[in-house]
Structure 1
Amino acid sequence: MSMLPAEDHKLIVEKLGREPNTLEQGFFLNLWSEHCSYRSSGVLLRNFKTDGENVIIGPGDDAAIVKFDDEYVLSVAMESHNHPSYVDPYSGAATGVGGIVRDVISMGMRSVAVLAPFYIGPLDSEKNRWLFDNILQGSADYSKTIKVAAVRGESYFDERYNGNPLVNVVCVGVGKKENIMTSIPKAAGNRLILFGSKTGRDGLGGASFASNAMAEDEDVPEKSAIPAGDADLERRLIDATIEIIEKKLVESCRDLGAAGMAGATSELPDKGGLGALILADAVPVKYDNMTAYEIMLAETQERMLAEIKPENVPKVLDIMKKHDVPAADIGYLTKEPVYRVEYKGKIEVELPLRFLVQGVPKFELPSKEPAKRPADLISKKPKSPQTPDEIKKSVLTLISSYNLASRKWVWDKYKETTLPSVVGESGGDAGIIKVTDKKGVAMTCGCEPAVSLLDPYIGATITVIENAMNVAVKGAPGLCLLDNLNFGNPKKPEQYWVLKQSVLGMADAAKKLNIPVVGGNVSLYNESDEFNTAILPTPAIGVLGIVSFEKPVPSSFFKAADETVIMVGTTNPEMGGSEYYRVSKMEMAGVVPSVPADYEKVVAKIAEVCASGFVTTAHDISKGGIAAALTKMVSNVGADVDLSKMNGLSDEILFSESPARAILTTKSPEKVMALLNGIPAIEIGKTKKSADLSLKLNAGTVVLTKAEIDEASSTIEKAMKKGYTQKSY
């Protein structure tokens, strides 16, 4: 009986002129899965602009390469490890970090930073606390061991992630232009060297597993089937890979990820129009009597594949031995574009390679716009607070929500991953890594799932604007963008419509901001039979920018008293999808935020002003609006802010999440306002020595002390201190 979908099976039999055997079916099942082939999403991804003056290698390799300066380049990639992280959160998150790091390393660059956006159910649930704790610990422990800094992340909570948490990871590497490596093979006759962990049975069918909804417990793989990480081996593997690349011993290279040996050993030769003969019994294995199916399709972690000239094989194997990394010659490239696997002297697989790798049918699926809530649902808006006491209570309630609470407990998990190259404070708008004395990389990640639920096009657009703003407030124009498109079942027309609209929104926004989309990942079928839910539309992204150190880089927190506070951008009373409405249980109420027609000018101007040296503090305004931004900025320095001249109700002024806005502080307001010429901006107050926040509104003045802010925003820490009673679920 065939394990393949009926239409795929029919097409394959017609092409081969015979029935594929079980091992060959396993190859097609995994390589033709959505996770590997983008069969229903690839046509949508063509909307992205992927090239630009700084793009050296765009999508299609293990990672992208973008120019940093005349000497250095950046290697960047984004990936997900969603399904495994629900079954085994510690190992799932750890191997998510390990896999994306190897993608960057295979390009010849040393990884310097990871960013980790996580989306999970609320922490009121004991199981969610277990998931969150183990996801954080797994990614932190792995990052620490391999000496890669965790510099930024996102923790977003919603009950629709119950049963299907999302674990996304961005990785950034740095290296010299001369060491750029690709997975494009050079010549037939060159040997294929497998190095890293011995192959086990873990992760069998991982790519096909990631292309299906999370089912009831009896259908979920055993925890032992989830690939386990070995960070100590990964560290040695990184050093060995960089050494053989820098010594010019490698012709092409790639990580072993989805579909394991089957994926790497077929996709690499196909990129050069070549073929390959793989000797499955030459693969170092963990167990006796492993089958060819297990050897070729297991997704054991910490493995790499390199094309090596025959005369360089001994040198490469010696270097692997020096680093205590298992390695073996497991086959060679052939002129004939046929893929063969030999096991115990018998050819077990013989397939036309281009058909195996690229023959999957790709097409748009039927789409249907869901029924939308009527615009007049705005009448359901929460009752606006009227008195200073009511306003104060609303602010404190809002910043106590899981999505706005302090992430100190989270960052404490990662504090041991900090490296000397990390610049600035944890928890700011963007993380920064120093590359040279004069320049570094600002990086951020995140998403707007609540807005995407109401309008996926606008939600994706705001996601791009928000992340571009996060690097802009560090004085860095957007350099490149990576995406991880997390959605439900694309075979459901309404879900596919949401995916399509999200891609179009992201593509249009990136083009308008002139930020090329250089890579990413698609994670579909994120639905849970256990909870009968689909995730929120979650088009998570990472954005990078180049920041100069020749002038002071703005902090995300108030640093000095007697500075002028300036608000940049336009605030509109459009609260649909806002955290304020979510906290008020009015999620479907309100008008979806509009996008300023000239938002690209606002973002560019913010980057210019924040690079001028005149701005001490800069913070993007996003979730929770002005109120959340200002409370986050309070340190041992506070501020007196006057919002009474703004039109609208108190909650509309304080909690609107209109995009393309920022709060700046400066000792030179005349110079900053002159630079902002043509962009909406108003002076709204002064910083002060006392650590409190005073908000003057038409309804009166509200004063929030640092102690009150800290107490209200300690929700995550309080929840996690409750712990959990089970070691696994």
Structure 2
Amino acid sequence: MSAASDLAPEFAIDPKQLAAERLTQAEYVEIVNRLGRKPNPAELGMFGVMWSEHCCYKNSRPLLKQFPTTGERILVGPGENAGVVDLGEGLRLAFKIESHNHPSAVEPFQGAATGVGGILRDIFTMGARPIALLNSLRFGDLADPKTQRLVHGVVSGISHYGNCTGIPTVGGEIYFDPVYSGNPLVNVMALGLMETTEIVKSGAGGIGNPVIYVGSTTGRDGMGGASFASAELSEESQADRPAVQVGDPFLEKSLIEACLEAFQTGAIVAAQDMGAAGLTCSTAEMAAKGGVGIDLDLDLIPARESGMIPYEYLLSESQERMLFVAQAGREQEIIDIFQRWELHAVVAGRVIAEPIVRIRHQGEIAAEIPALALAENTPIYHRESLSEPPEYVQKAQAWSVSSLPTASETGIELASGFLSWSEVLLKLLASPTVASKAWVYRQYDQQVQNNTVTGPGGADAAVIRLRPVTGEKLANPYVGVAATVDCNPRYVYLDPYQGAIAAVAEAARNLSCVGAEPLAVTDNLNFGSPEQPLGYWQLSEACRGLSQACRVLNTPVTGGNVSLYNETLDADGKPQAIYPTPVVGMVGRVTDVRKTVGQGWAKSGDLIYLLGEPLTPKTTTEAISLGGSEYLATIHDQVTGKPPYLDLELEQQVQKICREGIAQAWIRTAHDLSEGGIGVALAESCISGNFGATITLPWALSDRISRWDELLFGEGGSRILVAVDPSQKEAWEEYLKTQGNPPIQEIGIVTETAAELQILTADNQALIKVRIEELWDRWANGLGTYLSS
């Protein structure tokens, strides 16, 4: 990167013009040096979007290089529109996650809807038919009417686009915290099953091959969306509403079918979705990846508005558009397919040998830039980081449970009055983050395509039956895929390294809880500004944790998305960042969908075990902690303390045992312990199965676990509740012996339908005793209290 310096007068530029494109003076000097001249407005706009964080990852790329990206089942890793893994049986799965945070903040319905449309195009661009959607959402305080409006808009946008395209939304997660009030997070993950023999790549090839524009028309909507996504939000962000795209899901459905039909002809050399940065990104990336150039004529681009100038064509992010490179001589074959689907398809350019992007308009050259300068040799920044954890982390590390009010066997005395442990459990179940998300997922079509085995609310991960799209029979007709999205942002805020490890581990654990073998990861890194030492420290530490966990758990990263500058400006103009939120999307292979299990108790009399030792210290830290817990935030209004330490070796062992128990049909229920600890997990299994449970905690209080709330609501990884068929107890426990007698304990029994949850001490004293109807009522109405009106 060239240093900023005084330029010759003929190269001078108005600083306001640079600010509009979100380019720095040093970046402008570099552009001038690369071009050997002053860029025209269209070229400057092209550099502005392609050198944005959203497109080139200029602050995060050095950190992403540490991720493991290869493995036995990895067919396509980072660098393409989506990752692809081998599921066996000749089945190949494409999957990816993307964000649409800033657009959803200013226009929640269209922002969320076009986020769905964009991630679907990433999937079918590879030659895969989309089969499922998941989402990971973060909102502010649900009591705030602004948050309620955002939730309504985002959920409506997701359901509208997914339902209209016929793609089931099968899972997801939602958190609520005031830190997201000004900057919600909308991350969408999609899965698709490959239809084409060859995976469709994006690198252009074949000098002289035609470049074909297909899909919808180009308008002025979505102008500068990539740059808009790479800056903090402010009161002026409403003026950026034109940067939010407008989608048409019915047109996208036609585009899916037309593209997959075109790919089947074998005439398509390369394909690229026109998402962020539109025509600029698609032409530059296709040319750069293929080591060639593209000559494109804007006069041939179907436009929906008159009088558009090159800048507008090139930066428009109008939706439902694609760019193909086809084999010369087969243009009409492709055009005919799209015309049958009533979509535009025109030859708008050619592949050229000179590695440049040349744009023509009204008989003149409107832009001419080396492709690598736009898409590969982009600025890279190694930002200043903190030399030690920030003050808020150091204070959190020094926090102790002894600062909380005294807790007894019956409950806890708060300033607002005494709460029994049963009342604490009910308050946790009613908190928006823990409460039922049925208000949300009932708006999504979960069963369209008729392959959803386990959808939202039924288990810790979604399960989808896989049917070959080409009609051939499978040797194993019951093979499936499981998918989940996970991240506890409080953990990452309090310890980015350990918090990121916990996110990967929880995703893998959720897959194991339905019996799936975890395979691979796609991540969405939602952070504040990397230009602040704190923001960069959080990002770099989280990337380090993600890398470590993915290596140990053997779940390579196939791609994903980086969304930085997620912050708003306060009344004093100071940036207020969200919690660092590295969302982990993970997929797993299911050998037999008939043998998967849910989180609800399945049968009265089943024996309840806790996999994973809840009271074992690891090195100098603790495996179970109230630090960063839902209990601490909801009951005591505090976000502090050390998040639980996670032992990845124990995590592997616990997950392996759970999967084997499910495969052998010993285990009939499995549910991981996450927010709210063992108390909430037991309640959720009772609610989901409509059975009661009697639990005897076989642990006494000790010097290390000195409080009943820590025992009941402390959180920590590597813990799974399972219910075992009593007729299989001997086989189950014999198997455990072969695993070296891991930390697993029998703690109770499933009782009759609609009974009660009883949690007893080792000496048979009741800590919690609540009827299932009361648990269900608090849990089921937690969101509806705010959103149903």
TM norm. shorter chain > 0.5: yes
Which one-letter code corresponds to 1:720 in the other structure?
L
The SS at the match of 2:120 is: helix
Which one-letter code corresponds to 1:166 in the other structure?
L
Which one-letter code corresponds to 2:720 in the other structure?
A
Please say if 1:394 is aligned against 2:416. Answer: no
Find the counterpart in structure 2 of residue 148 from structure 1.
167
Q: Is the 8 A contact 1:75 1:109 kept in 2?
A: yes
The SS at the match of 1:7 is: helix
Which one-letter code corresponds to 1:233 in the other structure?
L
Which one-letter code corresponds to 2:310 in the other structure?
A
2:461 & 2:743 partners in 1: Cα distance? 24
Find the counterpart in structure 2 of residue 697 from structure 1.
761
The SS at the match of 1:521 is: strand
After the TM superposition, which of the residue ranges 101-110 and 402-411 deviates more from structure 2?
A: 402-411
The SS at the match of 1:251 is: strand
Q: Is the 8 A contact 1:442 1:471 kept in 2?
A: yes
Find the counterpart in structure 2 of residue 585 from structure 1.
636
1:281 & 1:133 partners in 2: Cα distance? 40
Shift of 1:540: 0.5
2:642 & 2:43 partners in 1: Cα distance? 52
2:268 & 2:244 partners in 1: Cα distance? 31
1:584 & 1:367 partners in 2: Cα distance? 34
1:270 & 1:701 partners in 2: Cα distance? 64
1:347-396: CA deviation from partner (whole Å, max 9, x where unpaired): 01111211222222213100013123344421323543531671111111
Find the counterpart in structure 1 of residue 5 from structure 2.
none
Give the 3 Å change call, closer, same or farther, for CA 391–603 of structure 1 in structure 2.
Answer: same
Find the counterpart in structure 1 of residue 144 from structure 2.
125
Find the counterpart in structure 1 of residue 618 from structure 2.
none
Q: Is the 8 A contact 2:295 2:359 kept in 1?
A: yes
Q: Is the 8 A contact 1:144 1:417 kept in 2?
A: no
Find the counterpart in structure 1 of residue 52 from structure 2.
33
Q: Is the 8 A contact 1:574 1:656 kept in 2?
A: yes
1:128-166: CA deviation from partner (whole Å, max 9, x where unpaired): 111001101110111111111101111100000011000
The SS at the match of 1:110 is: strand
1:128 & 1:227 partners in 2: Cα distance? 22
1:434 & 1:551 partners in 2: Cα distance? 10
Please say if 1:88 is aligned against 2:123. Answer: no
Shift of 1:587: 2.8
Q: Is the 8 A contact 1:570 1:658 kept in 2?
A: no
Find the counterpart in structure 2 of residue 636 from structure 1.
690
Find the counterpart in structure 2 of residue 727 from structure 1.
none
Q: Is the 8 A contact 1:377 1:588 kept in 2?
A: no
Q: Is the 8 A contact 1:382 1:584 kept in 2?
A: no
The SS at the match of 1:271 is: helix
Q: Is the 8 A contact 2:292 2:352 kept in 1?
A: yes
For 1:560-579, what aligned pairs fall within 5 Å after superposition? 560-572=603-615, 573-579=624-630
Give the 3 Å change call, closer, same or farther, for CA 17–376 of structure 1 in structure 2.
Answer: closer
For 1:535-684, what aligned pairs fall within 5 Å after superposition? 535-549=578-592, 552-572=595-615, 573-596=624-647, 598=649, 599-634=651-686, 635-647=689-701, 648=705, 649-667=707-725, 668-676=728-736, 677-678=739-740, 679-684=742-747
Give the 3 Å change call, closer, same or farther, for CA 673–133 of structure 1 in structure 2.
Answer: farther
Find the counterpart in structure 1 of residue 394 from structure 2.
373
Give the 3 Å change call, closer, same or farther, for CA 589–426 of structure 1 in structure 2.
Answer: closer
Please say if 1:710 is aligned against 2:776. Answer: yes
1:36-94: CA deviation from partner (whole Å, max 9, x where unpaired): 00001000001100000100110000111110114110011110000000111110111
The SS at the match of 1:221 is: helix
1:187-221: CA deviation from partner (whole Å, max 9, x where unpaired): 111111111110010111111111100022x3433
Find the counterpart in structure 1 of residue 375 from structure 2.
357
1:40 & 1:161 partners in 2: Cα distance? 22
Find the counterpart in structure 2 of residue 414 from structure 1.
444
Q: Is the 8 A contact 1:109 1:179 kept in 2?
A: no
1:353 & 1:45 partners in 2: Cα distance? 23
Please say if 1:341 is aligned against 2:359. Answer: yes
User: % of aligned pairs identical?
Assistant: 35
Give the 3 Å change call, closer, same or farther, for CA 551–97 of structure 1 in structure 2.
Answer: closer
Which one-letter code corresponds to 1:592 in the other structure?
P
Q: Is the 8 A contact 1:75 1:172 kept in 2?
A: yes
After the TM superposition, which of the residue ranges 450-459 and 664-673 deviates more from structure 2?
A: 664-673
2:73 & 2:318 partners in 1: Cα distance? 35
Please point out which of 502, 509, 519 is paired with 1:479. Answer: 519
1:653-700: CA deviation from partner (whole Å, max 9, x where unpaired): 211111011000111223223333332110111112232211112552
Q: Is the 8 A contact 1:147 1:417 kept in 2?
A: no
The SS at the match of 1:68 is: strand
For 1:300-319, what aligned pairs fall within 5 Å after superposition? 300-319=318-337
The SS at the match of 1:53 is: coil
Give the 3 Å change call, closer, same or farther, for CA 380–177 of structure 1 in structure 2.
Answer: farther
Which one-letter code corresponds to 1:552 in the other structure?
K
Please point out which of 184, 190, 194 is paired with 1:165. Answer: 184
Which one-letter code corresponds to 1:575 in the other structure?
L
TM-score by length of 2: 0.89
Shift of 1:419: 3.5
Q: Is the 8 A contact 1:262 1:297 kept in 2?
A: yes
1:193 & 1:646 partners in 2: Cα distance? 70
1:397 & 1:419 partners in 2: Cα distance? 38
Which one-letter code corresponds to 2:614 in the other structure?
T
1:555-599: CA deviation from partner (whole Å, max 9, x where unpaired): 211111111011101224411111011113353443321112522
Which one-letter code corresponds to 1:674 in the other structure?
E
1:344 & 1:240 partners in 2: Cα distance? 30
2:211 & 2:237 partners in 1: Cα distance? 36
The SS at the match of 2:443 is: helix
Q: Is the 8 A contact 1:693 1:703 kept in 2?
A: yes
Shift of 1:415: 3.9
After the TM superposition, which of the residue ranges 80-89 and 701-710 deviates more from structure 2?
A: 701-710
1:463 & 1:646 partners in 2: Cα distance? 30
Please point out which of 4, 19, 26 is paired with 1:7. Answer: 26
Q: Is the 8 A contact 2:59 2:383 kept in 1?
A: yes
Which one-letter code corresponds to 2:590 in the other structure?
V
Give the 3 Å change call, closer, same or farther, for CA 311–646 of structure 1 in structure 2.
Answer: farther
After the TM superposition, which of the residue ranges 555-564 and 684-693 deviates more from structure 2?
A: 684-693
Shift of 1:516: 0.5
The SS at the match of 1:143 is: helix
Q: Is the 8 A contact 1:179 1:245 kept in 2?
A: no
User: What 5-or-longer segments of structure 1 have no aligned partner?
Assistant: 723-729
Q: Is the 8 A contact 2:431 2:782 kept in 1?
A: yes
Shift of 1:605: 2.6
Please say if 1:233 is aligned against 2:251. Answer: yes
1:218-276: CA deviation from partner (whole Å, max 9, x where unpaired): 34334344101100000000000000001212111111111010000110111110001
Find the counterpart in structure 2 of residue 431 from structure 1.
462
1:416 & 1:458 partners in 2: Cα distance? 34
Find the counterpart in structure 2 of residue 465 from structure 1.
505
1:550 & 1:418 partners in 2: Cα distance? 18
For 1:66-215, what aligned pairs fall within 5 Å after superposition? 66-176=85-195, 178-215=197-234
1:415 & 1:385 partners in 2: Cα distance? 46
Q: Is the 8 A contact 2:528 2:535 kept in 1?
A: yes
2:237 & 2:553 partners in 1: Cα distance? 44
